[in-house]
């Protein structure tokens, strides 16, 4: 039965990330290890902007959950954690640590343990909501520093849609010399009327898709967007695979996050359910280091779009093992998910 350990580190962002719900400049992340005496698996909890899912609370929950020992079977543990109502990011930390341990015990990269090929599409990198002059300055640095080929532009500004348009236009202008693909994420910051107006406006400007135009819990209002021109992906509206049947016919795709669904175990179910409903798939991230990013990258072959970039905006990243090459965060060929803490 594996032994469980905890470590909390503060992660500082190179550029604070502002979205419709607030701004995050740093986060306290919890790192979880599970050890069998020979091999150790590593997982990570990362909080979300404005969420009560903190490292301190997650550690307390996991310490109580594992006090009597923990099974080395991720499926059994996931079901038990859900029953115990543990926060999703805390579940994700233990779940990915157990998958990492299993892969190391087998001497296999995690993607191979899961029966997946080493295949991925380029990741998006993100520019938060800023004044246009700040956006023009930051976008070229982000794209050149990372070599990314896709830019996700956060919209849904509390200052209104004209600010959204000015911010988007500044980002698109700054990205144009690098021929970067453009995506948009409103983080639930629009009304139905605003979403229709922005859909029409953005469709004329080469955008690939719009993510989460309406607030979570307003899924029934997606009926008002049936005349949209651009595909939409739902993020905050999809936490677990069981969420999809209720609104799968109203969207074009889902964006799952390990921190939101509770780890790799549920991520596999979400992808299977999304495919059953004919939906496109995406994997995103919160404020994660290379540890959780590497765990997500191991699943890359399952996704049409990838948004695994949070580790590229850390100063510094306390972990390694999630490199970006030619715009792609490549699944590691090391045993496990391949990530490690630097010290």
Q: What is the pLDDT of residue 1?
A: 78
Which residue has better confidence, 343 or 262?
A: 262
Give the count of domains, the chain: 2
Mean pLDDT to the nearest integer, 4-20: 97
Asked whether residue 304 falls in the same domain as residue 187, the answer is yes
Using the structure block, give the residue that is written with the tokens 């799968």. 248
CA distances to 82, 135, 217, 324 from 111, in Å = 24, 36, 34, 17
Q: Is there a contact between 167 and 180 (Cβ–Cβ < 8 Å)?
A: no
Q: What is the pLDDT of residue 103?
A: 98
Q: How confident is the model at residue 100 (pLDDT cuts 50, 70, 90)?
A: very high
Asked whether residue 321 falls in the same domain as residue 286, the answer is yes
Using the structure block, give the residue that is written with the tokens 């629009």. 190
C-alpha 271/C-alpha 282 separation (Å) is 9
Burial 191-211 (b: 16+ CB within 10 A, else e): eeebbbebbeebeeeebbbbb
- Given a cut of 80, whether residue 133 has pLDDT beyond it is yes
Asked whether residue 61 falls in the same domain as residue 168, the answer is no
Q: How confident is the model at residue 228 (pLDDT cuts 50, 70, 90)?
A: very high
Mean pLDDT to the nearest integer, 88-94: 98
Task: Examine the fold and report which residue of 47, 82, 112 is the final residue of a domain before the chain moves on.
Answer: 112
DSSP letter string, 232-255: EEESTT-SSGGGHHHHGGG-SEEE
Q: What is the pLDDT of residue 338?
A: 98
- Given a cut of 80, whether residue 34 has pLDDT beyond it is yes
Q: What is the pLDDT of residue 299?
A: 98
Asked whether residue 31 falls in the same domain as residue 122, the answer is no
Q: In three state form, how does the secondary structure of the chain look?
A: CCEEEEEEEEEEEEEEEEECCEEEEEEEEEEEEEECCCCEEEEEECCCCCCCCCHHHHHHHHHHHHCCCCCCCHHHHHHHHHHCCCCHHHHHHHHHHHHHHHHHHHCCEHHHHCCCCCCCCCEEEEECCCCHHHHHHHHHHHHHHHCCCEEEEECCCCCCHHHHHHHHHHHHHHHHHHCCEEEEECCCCCCHHHHHHHHHHHHCCCEEEEECCCCCCCHHHHHHHCCCCCCEEECCCCCCHHHHHHHHHHCCEEEEEHHHHCCHHHHHHHHHHHHHCCCEEEEECCCCCHHHHHHHHCCHHHCCEECCCHHHHECCCCEECCCEECCEECCCCCCECCCEECC
Please state whether the peptide bond connecting residue 104 to the residue before it is cis, i.e. omega within 30 degrees of 0: no
Asked whether residue 54 falls in the same domain as residue 81, the answer is yes
Asked whether residue 107 falls in the same domain as residue 119, the answer is no
Asked whether residue 98 falls in the same domain as residue 59, the answer is yes
Residues 33, 34, 37, CA angle at the centre, nearest 5°?
120
Q: What is the pLDDT of residue 268?
A: 98
Q: Is there a contact between 27 and 11 (Cβ–Cβ < 8 Å)?
A: yes
Asked whether residue 229 falls in the same domain as residue 313, the answer is yes
CA distances to 57, 127, 300, 325, 328 from 148, in Å = 35, 12, 16, 9, 8
Taking only the tens place, the pLDDT of each residue in 198-216 is: 999 999 999 999 999 999 9
Q: What is the pLDDT of residue 48?
A: 83
| Pairing mode, strands 150-154 and 124-127 | parallel
- Given a cut of 90, whether residue 72 has pLDDT beyond it is no
Mean pLDDT, the chain, integer = 97
Helix (H) or strand (E) holding 72: none
- Given a cut of 90, whether residue 182 has pLDDT beyond it is yes
Using the structure block, give the residue that is written with the tokens 């990741």. 123
Task: Examine the fold and report which residue of 77, 112, 147 is the final residue of a domain before the chain moves on.
Answer: 112
Asked whether residue 244 falls in the same domain as residue 325, the answer is yes
What is the CATH number for 91? 3.30.390.10
Of 164, 216, 183, 209, nearest to 51 by C-alpha is 216
Q: What is the pLDDT of residue 276?
A: 98
Task: Examine the fold and report which residue of 86, 112, 138 is the final residue of a domain before the chain moves on.
Answer: 112
Enumerate residues 6+ apart whose C-beta is below 8 A from 93.
30, 31, 32, 43, 44, 45, 58, 62, 263
Asked whether residue 70 falls in the same domain as residue 219, the answer is no
Taking only the tens place, the pLDDT of each residue in 274-291 is: 999 999 999 999 999 999
- Given a cut of 90, whether residue 30 has pLDDT beyond it is yes
- Given a cut of 80, whether residue 50 has pLDDT beyond it is no
Taking only the tens place, the pLDDT of each residue in 143-175 is: 999 999 999 999 999 999 999 999 999 999 999
Q: Which domain holds residue 237?
A: 115-341
Asked whether residue 156 falls in the same domain as residue 294, the answer is yes
Asked whether residue 173 falls in the same domain as residue 309, the answer is yes
What is the CATH number for 250? 3.20.20.120
């Amino acid at each position: 039965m594996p032994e469980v350990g905890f470590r909390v580190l503060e992660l500082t962002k190179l550029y604070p990330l502002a979205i419709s719900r607030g701004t995050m400049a740093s986060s306290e992340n919890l790192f979880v290890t599970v050890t069998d005496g020979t091999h150790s698996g590593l997982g990570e909890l990362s909080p979300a902007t404005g969420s009560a899912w903190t490292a301190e609370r997650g550690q307390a929950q996991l310490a109580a959950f594992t006090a009597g020992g923990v099974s080395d079977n991720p499926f059994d543990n996931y079901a038990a954690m859900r029953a115990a109502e543990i926060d999703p990011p805390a579940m994700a930390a233990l779940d990915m640590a157990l998958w990492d341990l299993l892969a190391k015990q087998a001497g296999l990269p995690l993607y191979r343990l899961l029966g997946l090929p080493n295949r991925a599409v380029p990741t998006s990198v993100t520019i938060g909501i800023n004044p246009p002059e700040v956006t023009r300055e930051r976008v070229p640095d982000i794209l050149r520093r990372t070599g990314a080929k896709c830019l996700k532009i956060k919209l849904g500004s509390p200052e209104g849609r004209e600010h959204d348009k000015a911010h988007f236009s500044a980002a698109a202008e700054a990205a144009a010399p690098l021929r970067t693909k453009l995506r948009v994420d409103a983080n639930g910051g629009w009304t139905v009327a605003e979403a229709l107006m922005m859909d029409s406006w953005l469709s004329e400007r080469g955008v690939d898709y719009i993510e989460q135009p309406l607030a979570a819990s307003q899924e029934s209002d997606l009926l008002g967007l049936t005349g949209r021109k651009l595909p939409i992906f739902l993020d905050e509206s999809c936490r677990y695979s069981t969420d999809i049947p209720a609104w799968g016919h109203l969207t074009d795709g889902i964006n799952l996050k390990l921190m939101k669904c509770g780890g790799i175990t549920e991520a596999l179910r979400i992808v299977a359910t999304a495919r059953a409903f004919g939906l496109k798939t995406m994997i995103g991230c919160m404020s994660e280091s290379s540890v959780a990013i590497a765990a997500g990258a191991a699943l890359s072959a399952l996704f049409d779009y990838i948004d695994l970039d949070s580790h590229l905006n850390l100063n510094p990243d306390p972990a390694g093992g999630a490199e970006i090459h030619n715009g792609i965060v490549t699944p590691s060929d090391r045993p496990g998910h391949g990530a490690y803490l630097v010290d």
